[in-house]
Amino acid sequence: MLKREIYLDRIRGFYHHKELIKVIFGLRRSGKSVILEQIIEELREEGIDEDHIIFLNFELLEYAFIKTAIDLDKYIKDIAKDDKTYYVFLDEIQKIEDFDKAINSIRVRGKFSIFVTGSNSRMTVTELSTELTRKIC
C-alpha cells in the first residue's frame, strides 16, 4: 500500500489533540480510508493500545445497527471503559443521522481524539465547522 506521506505529514501533529476534530473528506474511492488505516498503524507503532483505537466503517454491515447520533454516542460510550485517551475513527460518517450531534457529544467528554471521513455534500468544511461549533483541521 502506498504511504500517503503528504497527507499524513499534514495531520500527524494533531493525532493526540482531543479538542480538534480531524476531518478528511473527498470523492468516493479517493483513499480516505487508507489514510485512516495509516494513521492507526502509526498510533500502534507509538504504542497506543489496540483497545483504545475504535474504527467504525459505516459502509460495513456489521455497523448497520448504528443509525443515529444517539446510537453512535452510546456505542462509543460503552466501549470507552477508562479515562485514557481513545482514538475514534468514523469512516463515511455521513451515513449516520445527525452525525454532528454525535461527534460533538463524543468530543465534549474530553478523552477522545476524533477522526472522521465523508464523501458527500454534507461533508464540506464550511458546513461542518458550523455544525460542530469547534475548530476543524
Domain count within the chain: 1
Amino acid 3: pLDDT? 76
**Backbone torsions φ then ψ of 25, nearest 5 degrees:** -130, 155
DSSP 4: -
Q: Which three cell numbers stand for residue 90?
A: 468514523
d(CA 59, CA 45): 27
Burial tier of 65 (Cβ tally within 10 Å: 0-12, 13-18, 19+): exposed
Q: 50 is in which domain, residue-wise?
A: 15-120
Amino acid 6: pLDDT? 82
Q: Is residue 128 part of a domain?
A: no
Q: How large a percentage of the chain has pLDDT more than 90?
A: 71
- State mean pLDDT over 85-106: 95
Q: What is the CATH number of the domain that holds 87?
A: 3.40.50.300
52 vs 127: which has the higher pLDDT: 52
Q: How large a percentage of the chain has pLDDT more than 70?
A: 82
What's the pTM? 0.86
